[in-house]
Amino acid sequence: MSQERKQGNSAEIRYVQNEQGPTLGLSTSSGVKEIQQDGLFFKDLNRSGVLEPYKDWRLSSTERAQDLASRMTPEQIAGLMLYSRHQSIPAGKTNWISSTYNGKSYEESGAKPWDLTDEQKNFLERDHLRHILVTNVESPEVAAKWNNAVQAYAESVGLGIPANNSSDPRHGSNSDSEFNAGAGGTISMWPETLGLAATFDPKLVRRFGEIAAREYRALGLTTALSPQVDIATDPRWFRFNGTFGEDPQLSTDLGRAYIDGFQTSEKGDEIENGWGRASVNAMVKHWPGGGSGEGGRDAHYASGKYAVYPGGKFDEHLKPFTEGAFKLEGATGQASAVMPYYTVSWEQDTVNGQNVGNAYSKYLITALLREKYGYDGVVCTDWLITADENGEKDSFLSGKPWGVEQLSVAERHYKLLLAGVDQFGGNNEMGPVLEAYEMGVREHGEAWMRQRFERSAVRLLTNIFRLGLFENPYVQPQHSQQIVGQPDYMQAGYEAQLKSVVLLKNKNDVLPLSAPEQTRKKAYIPRRYIASGRDWFGRITPEKTVDPLNPSIASKYFDLTDDPEQADFALVCIENPDSGMGYSREDAEAGGSGYVPISLQYRPYTAVFGRKESLAGDSRSSDVMNRSHLGKSVRTRNESDLDLVLDTRAKMGDKPVIVSMRLSNPAIVAEFEPVADVILVHFGLQDQALLEILCGYTEPSGLLPMQMPADMRTVEEQFEDVPRDMNSYMDSEGHVYDFAYGLNFSGVIDDERVKTYR
C-alpha cells in the first residue's frame, strides 16, 4: 500500500506500508524506489535493484551496519565520522553562524526557512557528512520541513544513508512565559539540568527524558548531546548549571534515568532491544569528567585546559558513567555515545604518561573506557579539538587541541583514531580524516587501516539503524506542530519547575503569602540593572535595566507599586555573582600571567588563600607554567544585585524582603542573607511558578544539589576533584546550606530523598 503526502513546498514523501513490518518513507525526488520480496517492501537505497543485507529490516541493526560498512569507500566512512558545526534553521545573519543560499545571504536569497544552505548541500554530498548539530529553529513546522529536505537530499546520493540530526539541551525555561504559552509551538519548558537535580527524583527525570525524546523525534532530531553527568566538584566551574550537581550518587541515578527516558522505545515503537522509532540516542558527556578544572576554570578556553585531582578522587568522577550511563535499567543497556571533555586530565595517564586532551589519550579511551569498562558505543570528540588555537587564552571559538598543539590538523585526527575515537565534533570536511587514513595505511598497511575505519563505521551506523531511520527518516510537519509543546508536556515541565525551587530561608514564616483571591497584597519589585560585559563568545553586551518579572504576569498575583512605603513586601530578583572565567587580558597586557580568581561573592575579591604554584601548566613560550591567581583581584559583573537587596532592605524598613536568586553556580549568600526574610533559589523558572510558590499554591520541595560555601576561603581551600568538601554557610536561623538541604512551609525537609543521598 502506498500513499503520498506533501511537505509544504518541499519534496513529496511517499509512504509504503508493510502489513507486518515498518512503514517506508521515500522522497519522490530522491530517485529511490522500493523492492518487493516475499510479499514485503524494502527501500532500494543504492538503486541496485538487489536486496543487499543493509536494506533488509528483518536483520539486526548490527548485521545491517556490518554489511553497509563493508560497502563504503574510505571517503564515505570519513564523512560518516564527521559531526557538523552548529547549524541554525534558517541560517540568517542574526544567528551564531550564518551561511548562504545559492550564494546569497538568507535575507537576500528569498529562500524558505527550511531550505538547505549551500554549506549543508556541500557537506552532505561532497563530504558525505551525515551527523548534523542543530541549534535554534524557527518553529516545529520549519524544523520538520528542514529535516525532510535534509533526508531527501541524503537519500538521493551515494548509499542513501540518512542523516542523524542532533541537539544540545533545548528545554530550558523562558522566565516570562505562561506555562501553556508554548502549546502547539514552543518546546516544553523545564528547569535546567541542575534544577532537575534539585528535585532529587529519578522518576521525574526519566519522565523528562521520555517527553523530550518525543519532541526531539517530532523535530527530526535523533541524537541528544546530553546528559552532562560530570560531577561538578569545583563550585566555580561555569558549566556547573548543566550538571546534576556535585554528588556522585545523585548524578549517577539521575543520569541513568535521563538516558533510559531518551533511549527507550516500547510496544509498537520498539524495533529491537528497547530501541525503536521513539528512541533518541543519548551522547553522555564528558568522559572522564570535566568538573575539576584547576581554579574552577573551563577548558573551552585555553586558560582552563587542565583538570586536576589534588584529592585523588579521579575514580569518583567515573561513577556516573560506569555505574549509571553504562548500566541502564532499560533494555538499551548503555548510552549509545560518549563525548570526552576538552580537558587534559593532569597526570592521570598511568600507562603512557601523556598529558593530552582526554579524547587524544589512548589510556583514557582504549585502556580505560573500551577495555576496562567494556564500552563499545560511539566516542565523539567535543567540538573543534582538531582545529588550531587562535592564540587568545579567553576565546570560546578558538580551536582546542590541548596537549597536541604541535601536531597538524591531520595528525590530530590520526592520533584520535589511534586512541579509539570514532567521530570528530565540529568538523565539516573529510579531507583531514582521509589524510589520517593514509597515515595509517603507511604505518600499518591498507588492511589494518580499513578494518579500523570499518570498526567506527559499524558503531556509527548501528545508532542510525536501530532508530528506524533507514526505513523512514521523515516527519510530518502538522504532526510535529501537535506534538512539540503540547499542553500535557508543558504541564509536566511546569510541575517539574515547581519541584525544583529550593527554599533556603523563611524567617518568621513569611511564606506562604496570602493568595490573591483572599487578600490582594501590594508588591514592590525593583528593576534590575545589568552592567555591560562580554558573553561566552567574547561579544560585547550592552548595559540595561530590566523588569526581573513580567509585570503582566506578576499583576495577576499582586498589586504592583513603585513606592516601597506603599508595599506590603518586596520581591528582589537577582542572579549569582559572575566574575568571569578566571582570565584577564588586562592583567596579561600589564605583564601578569593573566590568571585571576573566579569569585562567588558580589563584592570585589582578592585571593589571599590558595596555591602559590599551580598544579598544571604549559612550558611553551606562548604560555605559562604557574597559573596561580594568589594575590590577584577580581570584580563581579553584577555587584549591583547585592546593592539592590541592601537598598531594598533599607527602603522597606521592617516589612518583609523576599529574595529570589537564580543559580548557575553555588554562591556566597553571606553578604545579603542577614537582611533577607526569605531566600528562594532556582535554576531556570517561569515567573508563574515562582509566584505560585510565594502564594502557597504549591509548597516548595527542592533540595540543594550542591553545597553553598560559607566564604571564599573555603572555596579556595577545597580540592577541585573532591565532592562536598566545603564549609557550608549557616544562616541567621541556624540552618546550614549543605547538600540536600531545603525547607518547606513546615521547616527543614527530612524525607526519603534526604536519607538516601545525604
pLDDT digits (tens, 9 = 90+) for 619-652: 888 899 999 999 999 999 999 999 999 999 999 9
In sequence order, what are the residues at sequence separation of 6 or more whose Cβ sits closer than 8 angstroms to the Cβ of residue 226? 168, 169, 193, 258, 282, 283, 284, 285
Percentage of the chain exceeding pLDDT 70: 96
DSSP percent split of the chain into helix, strand, coil, nearest 5: 30, 15, 50
Cis peptide before 288 (omega within 30 of 0): yes
Alpha carbon distances (Å) from 211 to 264, 311, 490: 11, 39, 10
Distance of CA 319 to the CA centre of its chain: 19
Task: Look up the pTM and report it.
Answer: 0.96
376 three-class SS = coil
- Is the pLDDT confidence value at 688 over 60? yes
Angle subtended by helix axes 431-444 and 446-465, to nearest 10: 140
- In degrees, rounded to 5, the angle at the alpha carbon of residue 166 between the alpha carbons of residues 20 and 403 is 135
pLDDT for res 540: 79
pLDDT for res 275: 98
In sequence order, what are the residues at sequence separation of 6 or more whose Cβ sits closer than 8 angstroms to the Cβ of residue 617? 306, 623, 624, 625, 626, 627
Over residues 291-304, mean pLDDT: 97
Contact 57, 42 (CB under 8 A): yes
Contact 293, 307 (CB under 8 A): yes
pLDDT for res 537: 62
681 three-class SS = strand
Over residues 573-582, mean pLDDT: 97
pLDDT digits (tens, 9 = 90+) for 240-282: 999 999 999 999 999 999 999 999 999 999 999 999 999 999 9
Active-site annotation holder among 382, 568, 677, 687: 382
In sequence order, what are the residues at sequence separation of 6 or more whose Cβ sits closer than 8 angstroms to the Cβ of residue 447? none
Q: How confident is the model at residue 508 (pLDDT cuts 50, 70, 90)?
A: very high
pLDDT digits (tens, 9 = 90+) for 65-101: 999 999 999 999 999 999 999 999 999 887 667 799 9
567 vs 574: CA distance, rounded Å: 19
Q: How confident is the model at residue 5 (pLDDT cuts 50, 70, 90)?
A: very low
Q: CB count, 10 Å around CB of 654? A: 6
Sorted by where each starts, the structural domains of the chain and their CATH numbers stand as 26-167+199-475 (3.20.20.300), 487-577+638-757 (3.40.50.1700), 582-635 (no CATH)
- Is the pLDDT confidence value at 680 over 60? yes
- Is the pLDDT confidence value at 720 over 80? yes
Judge whether 234 counts as a catalytic residue.
Answer: no
308 three-class SS = coil
- Is the pLDDT confidence value at 8 over 60? no
Q: Which residue has the cell 570535566?
A: 290
- Is the pLDDT confidence value at 176 over 70? no
φ, ψ for residue 54, nearest 5 deg: -70, -15
Average pLDDT, the chain: 95
pLDDT for res 11: 60
What is the Cα Rg of the chain in Å? 26
Q: How confident is the model at residue 174 (pLDDT cuts 50, 70, 90)?
A: low
285 three-class SS = strand
743 three-class SS = strand
Cis peptide before 86 (omega within 30 of 0): no
- Is the pLDDT confidence value at 218 over 80? yes
- Is the pLDDT confidence value at 687 over 80? yes
Of the listed ranges 7-11, 58-62, 746-750, the least confidently predicted one is 7-11
Percentage of the chain exceeding pLDDT 90: 91
Contact 516, 554 (CB under 8 A): no
pLDDT digits (tens, 9 = 90+) for 433-487: 999 999 999 999 999 999 999 999 999 999 999 999 999 999 999 999 999 999 9
474 vs 219: CA distance, rounded Å: 10
- Is the pLDDT confidence value at 416 over 90? yes
Residue-level length of the chain:
758
- In degrees, rounded to 5, the angle at the alpha carbon of residue 214 between the alpha carbons of residues 53 and 58 is 15
Helix (H) or strand (E) holding 570: strand 569-575
Over residues 336-356, mean pLDDT: 97
For 82-139, where are the alpha helices, taking DSSP H only? 106-109, 118-125
317 vs 315: CA distance, rounded Å: 5
Of the listed ranges 350-364, 400-414, 525-539, the least confidently predicted one is 525-539
- In degrees, rounded to 5, the angle at the alpha carbon of residue 241 between the alpha carbons of residues 255 and 228 is 30
- Is the pLDDT confidence value at 185 over 70? no
Q: Is 403 left (phi over 0), alpha (psi -120 to 50) or beta?
A: left
Q: How confident is the model at residue 574 (pLDDT cuts 50, 70, 90)?
A: very high
